[in-house]
Amino acid sequence: MLLPIYDRNPLRIIPFQFMTISIVLVSTLIFLWERSLSPHMLERSLLVYGMIPSVLVGADHLDPHLAPMAAPVTLVTSLFLHGDWMHLIGNMLFLWVFGDNIEDSMGHWRFLLFYFLCGAAAGLTQALAMPYSQEPTVGASGAVAGILGAYIVLHPKVKILVLAMMWFPLYLPAYFVLALWIATQVASVLFGAGGQIAWWAHIGGFVTGAILVVPFRDKRIPLFDRGVPH
C-alpha cells in the first residue's frame, strides 16, 4: 500500500551507515549465490539454512546429512536467504530507508547485534505460532521489522517519502506509515491471509525492536523525537 523511498532524517552520531550497507551487500551476494545453484541444491540449501518451525521446536528432525548445524543457528542463517528478487529488493529497500538511523542510534556493532536479536525473535515467534509447519522460513523481513519497531519509537514525526499504491508520491509521518504496516500484519494474522509470508515473524520482530531499542540506543537520541521539530 505504501512503499517507502526516502526519509528526511539525517545521521546525528555516526558519519556513515557502514553496517546497514554491509548487510545489504552480503544479503545480495548470498542471493546471487542462491541463483547459481541447481534446483536440487537450492532446495537442499533452504532446508539446511532456512528456519523450519517444526524442527526448531523439536516436533520434527532433519536427516543428519541435512543438519550440519544446530536448529537455533538457523534463526540467523535464514535471515540471509530470499525466495526471489522481489523478496530481496523489498526487504533491502526497507532496510536502506530505515536502517541507517537505527544504526546511528546504537553504533555499528550494537546495531548488528540488535538486527540478529530481532531476526531471531521473529523466527522464534513464527515457530511458536506454527509449530508443525515444515516449510523453511527465509528472509530478512523479521529483522527488518525490528528496525521498523525501533524507528517508530525513536522517530515517529519524521516525514517519509512513500509511493501510495506503487504510483503516487506522498510525504507522510513515520508513525502513520509504520502503524499502517504493523496493522496490516496483524490483520493478515487475524483474517487468515494465505501465501508464504511469515506474518507472525513480522509481528514478533516489530515488537522486539520496539522494546530493545530503549536499552540499546545512545542516550543522545531521544525517544519519540522529543524536542525535535519536524
C-alpha cell at 60: 520434527
Q: Report the pLDDT value the prediction gives residue 137, as an integer from 0 to 100.
A: 95
The radius of gyration of the chain from alpha carbons, rounded to an integer in Å, stands at 18
Q: What's 204's domain CATH number? A: 1.20.1540.10
Residue-level pLDDT at 195: 67
* The pLDDT value given to residue 228: 62
Residue 28 belongs to some domain of the structure:
yes
Q: Which residues contact 10 (CB under 8 A, 6 or more apart)?
A: none
What was the pLDDT predicted at 67? 65
Cell output for 71? 536448529
Could you report the per-residue pLDDT of 171-218, keeping only the tens digit for each? 999 999 999 999 999 999 998 766 678 999 999 999 999 999 999 999
Q: Tell me if 73 is assigned to some domain.
A: yes
The grid cell for 21 is: 550497507
Report which secondary-structure segment, H or E, holds 4: strand 2-7
Domain span at residue 185 reads 2-225
Q: How far apart are CA 143 and CA 3, in angstroms?
A: 18
Q: How many domains, in total, are found in the chain?
A: 1
Q: What string of DSSP letters covers 39-84?
A: HHHHHHHHHHHSB-HHHHTTSS---GGG-SS-GGGHHHHGGG--SS
Q: How far apart are CA 207 and CA 9, in angstroms?
A: 22
Give all strands of the β-sheet with 159-164 in edge-to-edge order: 2-7, 159-164, 168-173
From its phi and psi, is residue 193 left (phi > 0), alpha (psi between -120 and 50) or beta? beta
Question: Could you tell me the mean pLDDT of each successive run of 10 residues in the chain, 230 residues long?
Answer: 92 96 98 95 92 91 74 95 95 97 98 98 96 94 98 97 89 96 94 81 98 96 79
Residue 148 lies in a domain: yes
162 located within any domain: yes
- Residue 14 covered by a domain: yes
Helix, coil or strand: residue 225: helix
Q: In the prediction, which pLDDT does 65 show?
A: 73
d(CA 202, CA 110): 21
Alpha helices in 78-222 (DSSP H): 85-106, 108-129, 141-154, 174-190, 199-216
Domain for residue 230, yes or no?
A: no
The pLDDT of residue 192 is 77
